[in-house]
Each structure stands twice: as C-alpha cells, then as structure tokens.
Structure 1
C-alpha cells in the first residue's frame, strides 16, 4: 500500500470514529474512546481535521442569470472571481437565456454569489456617477464610453481578486503547517467532483477595448469596491 493510499485509509477511519457519538447511539465510554483514537491517529499521521473532512464536502452549482444574452463588461472579472472563491465557472445558454454556472463547495459558491452581487452593484453605482459627470456625452458616444469605463473597472477588480487570492493562500500556508497540502486537497476535491459531471469547459476570446480616459477612470474606480466584507448571516439571507 502506498503512503498516499495509507493516509486515505486512515482519513476514512477517522471519519468513522468521529461519527461515534452519544447522539448517534454510542455510550459515553465508547464516544470518549473514539475521540482519543482520533487524536492519536491525527498525531501519528500528521493530519488535521480540515484535511480529513475536506474531501467529504459536497460540491454544488449556483446559477446566476444574465439580464440579456449579450456579454457585459462585468464578464472581465468573473473568471478571477471564481478562482478567488475556489470555484469553476462557465456560461450556460439555453432557450434564448444565458447564465453563469458556478461550481464548487457549498460555502464557496455562496461566497461567489455574494461577491458577484457586490461587484455588479458597485459597477452599476459607479457607472451612474460616471454618466452624471459626463453630460457632454450623448447617444452612441455615451454608450461606448460607458462600456470602456465598466471594462476598466472589471479589469482592476480582476487584478485585485487575483492578488487577494494569492495573499490568502500565502497567509494560510504561514498559519498552518500543512496549509499548502490543504489547499491542494481542496483543489483536487473540486476537480474530482467536476470530472464526475458531464460539463466540458472551453475558453472564449474577448474583444479588445481601447484604453482611453474613460477606461482609466473605470480602472481607478475599481479600487473603490470593498471585496473584504465578511459574509454575515443577513448577507447570506439577502442573496438567496
């Protein structure tokens, strides 16, 4: 038996021992003995409970519908948002409708939906301010400048999400002796669950946008959206 196979066998045994509780019908003595064995196995094999239970976490999908079937500037930061939340994302088009499908562990998919709403509202609010500050723009010129502004915002938000993801992983590795292993285990768990689906991802090309004054103003505005807000109970309830 390989070392990896042995560790997986031990993890499975620990999960069974953790389930031996008074609530599940064990006596207090049996539950205590099981808890002591869990402690010994964790120490012997240098494991953490996070690593033991991570592979058991179920992956889910979250559908976020588009208002139309046309692409929008916010698309520019969606891949980075998915990576930040350790999720996969693809575009689903059916019966004249389009939507993002986010795939990952339940708590990560919930977070990605929350942050997507924060980003979308932030872009919409900043765009209103941009339009109000440029009364000289009318018709097609206004639509074009507004799109470049929003594209600049999305570009900056994508950069910030990538940087925050890297920072979070670095801090996690520093705070946990097996932090790198836990990140790898989580990635592998999501990949394994995703391979079990019938979805096959393909990349798409995005058009070029001229980086003019409107774009740079949007890029600067992308710094103002708060991406660090905690996911509180009232926030979770609001986005369901």
Structure 2
C-alpha cells in the first residue's frame, strides 16, 4: 500500500512540477506534462494556488555588492528587468558609491546577485575592449562611442532578461507572485530603506556603436546563467570588504 503523502509533501510536489518550465531548462513537452500533473494533484487534494505559498520562505534578505561607478548608468538600465526575472527588488546606490542592493527571499536574492554579476562582468569586459578600440579618438568622440556601445548592450540585455521573465511569471501562480512581493515590501520596511526614483536622461548615441553593443549583448549566455541558479554560484559572487558597508540613505533606483 502506497504511503499517504502529507499536505506539505503534496504542496512541495506540486511546486516542483510548476518549477519545470521551459525557461528553467525543461522541454515544452516536459513542461506541459508537469503542469498537468500539478493540476491533477491540486484537484485530488482539493488545494488552491494560495495553499502553495505555505512552504515559501517568509524571511527576506538584502544583499549588497560593489561595481565600477562609471557603469552605474548601464546597471540602472538592467535593474528593473533583473528584478522582474528574479522576483526581487534591485536598487542602485547614488552617484559615487557604485553599489547594488538586491532584496527578496534568500533564494531569489542569490539568483538576482548571480545574474547581476553575469551582466556586470560582460559590460565591464566590453567597456575595456571598447576603450582600447577607440583609444586614438578625441576624448569626447571616444566617450560617445564607448557609451553608445554600452547603452546598446544594456538595453538589449534588458530585453532578453524580460523575455525570460515573461516565461517565468506566466508559469508562476498569482498567489506566489503576491507572496514574493510582500516579502520584498516587508524587508524594505524592516531595513528602513527609502527609495527614490531618479530617471536618467538618454544621451545621443552613435548608431553603429549602439548596434555593436546589441551584438555583444546577444552573445552573453543568459540562459546558462538562469539554468545554473540552483547549482553552486560562480566565484564572482564572493564578498569583499566593501560589501559590508552599511547605511541606506540616498538609495536610488534608476531607469536607463
């Protein structure tokens, strides 16, 4: 006689089926079968999507890491898209600090930091490459070319991340989405963080350099980064002493 599953076991099993999405590496056929299994269990045990949030972590986490401050404009452009995919709030500190704070459930925050680091590393490498490539140009011309490349790269990365976010959110129940948003809101309140929205004015771009940035963004392996989120995180996530800096006055959220 088969062992009767506890309520928690059933909920865990349903959530496992719902997590088998194309965005997470399953084939379309596997994702469809998993969704059918989840629906069958929901009906068999008389559960609703609201019941699925019972086993979620309710304690939020805030993680901070540093980056080159001159790249703040381009990380601002990615912040909202990363937040949508990872179900976190991504905040960028004010000018001169070069820091990102990611807020949400512990697992989501780890994923958000991992994806942020993947994008940041790609942008940093492209910035160094472009600076060398245009080294002999006049300063203002060189700056326009480099910024155009990075702007195109950041915008295209945002588009690609949002495509992944749409797939993930469409597979996630509304109850789970709301629960995650509640965790973020409570954590921000508990930490006393005051968020200000500071829009960035778009600068004029060089069309060819902007296109070059788009092509660079298309070569970044975002799908591999997404599929690796449940594995060991890359060593680019190691904390440094600056990560321990505290104080959230003047925290900014920008848009590219």
Fold shared per TM-score above 0.5: yes
- Between the aligned partners of 1:84 and 1:131, the Cα distance in structure 2 is 31
Cα RMSD (Å) of the superposition? 3.2
Task: State the match for 1:53 in structure 2.
Answer: 55
What residue is the counterpart of 1:110 in the other structure?
110
Match among 182, 205, 222 for residue 211 of structure 1:
205
Residue matched to 2:33: none
CA-to-partner distance for each residue in 1:169-228, whole Å, 9 max, x for gaps? 22x24xxxxx23222322233323333331122210102122322122212322111112
Quote the Cα distance in structure 1 between the aligned partners of 2:52 and 2:114: 24
> Cα deviation per residue 1:124-146 (whole Å; 9 max; x = unaligned)?
22334445555653433212210
**Aligned length, in residue pairs:** 200
> 5+ residue gaps in structure 2?
12-41, 239-256
1:228 is paired with a residue whose SS is helix
- CA gap 1:205/1:221 in 2 versus in 1, 3 angstroms: same
The aligned counterpart of 2:183 is 189
Residue of structure 1 equivalent to 2:91: 90
Change (3 A) 1:197 1:112: same
C-alpha contact (below 8 Å) 1:150/1:218 kept by paired residues: yes
C-alpha distance in 2, partners of 1:40/1:158?
36
Which secondary structure does the structure 1 equivalent of 2:127 belong to?
A: helix
Q: Which runs of 5+ in 1 are unaligned?
A: 1-31, 174-178
Higher relative contact order (CA 8 A, sep 6+): 2
SS of 2:151 mapped into structure 1? helix
Larger gyration radius, structure 1 or structure 2: 1
TM-score, with structure 2 as normaliser: 0.65
